[in-house]
Homo-oligomer: A and B are copies of this chain.
Amino acid sequence: MSAEHPSLTPAYRPLYQQIREALTRRLASGDWSPGVILPSETALAQEYGVSQGTIRKALDAMAADHLVVRHQGRGTEVARHNDERSLFQFFHIYGEDGQRRLPTSRVLRCSRAKANRDEAAALNVHKGTMVVRIYRVRDLNERPAMTELVTVPAELFPDLELLGKEVPNAIYELYQRRYAISVQRAVEQLYAVAANSKDATLLNVQPGTPLLEIRRTAVDLENRSVEYRVSRCLTRHQHYLNELV
């Protein structure tokens, strides 16, 4: 029954996995755009020639991965990058009160450059490949909280550097809206480092002050490394929180 649909792969895996992969490919290909409501479970079941329960299992797995959002009574929506998702999935800095808010941003520089060794390794490109670098300071509760250097491959983000200081605070929403690149997951490596003189000036602390350095590599729907960012964060009025479940 599954062989009828062209995009199902031949190798044996559970049906719902194959459906899941087929649907994910259609998301990545732009067949359905962020915010769109997918066909209903019954419609998809018909299309793929499987039962509704199998479609359901595929969609539930995709919802767990934040690829889609399910709404009872309304339908299944292709996930969008809004403030809420940025906060819950990607922003782990909490204030002293245990609350978190998205930081505001002041862009200091946005320009093309050649990838250095770290950037090249993280983005999976050759050293010297053209990238765009965005350097900004981020404030929390009107206090400078972190410096941040965002690096993306220039090829994937044409003309991004022309935005200059107009690069928006919600940058993943920009990636998705302007470049059709949906960040799906990321890995963060955390280090304790000493503030250099630039950090110190921007954050208004003494050089040598311990900072939490966060090196994030973000991956899109097609499993491409699309962003590398290094944040250096004061932990006097905030901290990084991780739940081990």
Q: Nearest chain B CB to A245's CB is how many angstroms away?
A: 5
Per-position 1/0 for A152-175, Cβ under 8 A of B: 000000000000000000000000
Per-position 1/0 for A191-216, Cβ under 8 A of B: 11110000000000000101111001
A212 to B210, CA, bound (A): 9
Residues of B within 8 A of A187 (CB): 241-244
A208 to B185, CA, bound (A): 35
Asked if A192 and B189 make an inter-chain contact with CB atoms under 8 angstroms apart, the answer reads no
Residues of B within 8 A of A240 (CB): 189-191
Asked if B190 and A211 make an inter-chain contact with CB atoms under 8 angstroms apart, the answer reads no
Residues of B within 8 A of A16 (CB): none
A92 lies within 8 A of chain B by Cβ: yes
Near B by CB (< 8 A), chain A positions 210-236 give 210-213, 216, 233, 235
Contacts A189-B241, A193-B235, A212-B212 known; 4 new A-B pairs at CB < 8 A: A92-B244, A189-B240, A192-B192, A216-B244
Picked from B189, B210, B233, B244, the residue with its CB within 8 Å of the CB of A89 is B244
A-B contact pairs, 17 of them (CB 8 A): A65-B245, A66-B245, A92-B242, A185-B243, A187-B241, A188-B242, A188-B244, A189-B239, A190-B239, A190-B240, A191-B240, A192-B210, A192-B211, A193-B235, A212-B212, A216-B244, A242-B242
